[in-house]
Amino acid sequence: MALYLFVTIIAFIVNFVLIVPFINFLYKLKMQRQNQETRDAFNKPTPIFDHFHKHKQGIPVGGGILIVITTLVLFILSLLLFIVLRRPIQSNYPAIFSEAKIIIFSLLSFSLLGIYDDIKKIFILPKQQHIGLRLRHKLIIEIILASIIAFWLFNDLKIDFVHIPFFGVIKLYYFYIIFAVFVIVAFANAVNITDGLDGLSSGVLMIALMSFWAVARSIVDVPTSLFIGVWLGGIIAFLYFNIFPARIMLGDAGALAFGATFAVVGLTLGKPFSLLIIGGLFVVEIGSSLIQLVGKKFYKSKIFPVSPFHLWLQLKGWPEPKIVMRFWLMSILLSIFGLMVAFMK
């Protein structure tokens, strides 16, 4: 366990040293949040969102890029360190390097999609009526990437089942690919939607990953344990600069990548049911947004005054730090409950 804690500390130090120069670099590139009218999926103005987020104008966007790069580099180096030290790289799967390949591809591919979306938001479409990639275009690309990942989970790691406490193992066979695609795309967008307040998504993700780290260590899965350890170090360093008032934001480059990879970690550990509990706040956030979209699409009216859930709390008068802190507390409780479920037979 000491070696995993060591890589987490190293990851924290590396990111903490690099993040201030990286923030300055983003300022030079003018990768900053723009003061412009945002639009929803139906190209309608979102004045409530604009009202509560106008003070974030000028904050650098793209902090996730640094975390993705350092996490990938340090993860690969830590695997090489295990090989050099002749430490056994144990895993639940015979295809150990396929497990690492899936994790690396998940983080990198969704990050590249997010980078493209961030660049398009800031530099290409600042005066047009929609922001970034259109929802349907983004979803198509996400589904393609998630399908590749899901196929590898099914074909390379031979995962074709889900474990539900008290009901046991349920074989899904080829339907597992569809299930995995849905989970990955859902969490990619859930974390992206949650990334609206300073320290919200990164703090909740940090807490949730600690739970999955405990699961990974309990089943002695070295690749996933190393990856989570490195990833956590980067997120903690980022969170130091992301808490209110934020000096840097994740952007889609980080939020999409982190959400998709979080789902992949839950799937590789064989705990999709616990994933829904441990990541419960992400589920609430995307659930409220999805219900709102359905209401606008089919009933031509809002179901809620505003969505997602954290924005509704702002509308009710809750200050931003209060919302974030209480989300963190709820995440701790959900993580404890999710861990309990994960260890049930």
pLDDT digits (tens, 9 = 90+) for 145-186: 999 999 999 999 999 988 888 788 889 999 999 999 999 999
* Residue 42 pLDDT: 55
Per-residue model confidence as pLDDT tens digits over 79-108: 998 888 878 788 888 777 899 999 999 999
Indicate the range of 13-22, 26-35, 36-45, 144-153 predicted with least confidence: 36-45
* Residue 130 pLDDT: 41
Matching residue, tokens 């050099």: 84
Instruction: Give 45's strand partners.
Output: 39
pTM of the model: 0.93
Band of pLDDT at residue 36, cut at 50, 70 and 90: low
Band of pLDDT at residue 13, cut at 50, 70 and 90: very high
40 annotated as a binding-site residue: no
Q: Which two tokens stand for residue 330?
A: 């709820």
* Residue 104 pLDDT: 96
Q: Please give the full DSSP string across 135-161, using - where no structure is assigned.
A: HHHHHHHHHHHHHHHHHHHHHTS---E
Band of pLDDT at residue 37, cut at 50, 70 and 90: low
Per-residue model confidence as pLDDT tens digits over 317-332: 999 999 999 999 999 9
Q: Note whether 270 and 44 are within 8 A (CB).
A: no
**What's 246's DSSP letter?**
P
More confident call, 220 vs 218 = 218
Band of pLDDT at residue 293, cut at 50, 70 and 90: confident
Mean per-residue pLDDT, 290-304: 83
What is the rounded average pLDDT for all residues in the chain?
Answer: 89
192 annotated as a binding-site residue: yes
Interatomic CA distance for residues 57 and 33, integer angstroms: 5
* Residue 82 pLDDT: 84
* Residue 35 pLDDT: 62
- φ/ψ region of 43 (left if φ > 0, alpha if ψ in -120 to 50, else beta) reads left
pLDDT > 70? residue 210: yes
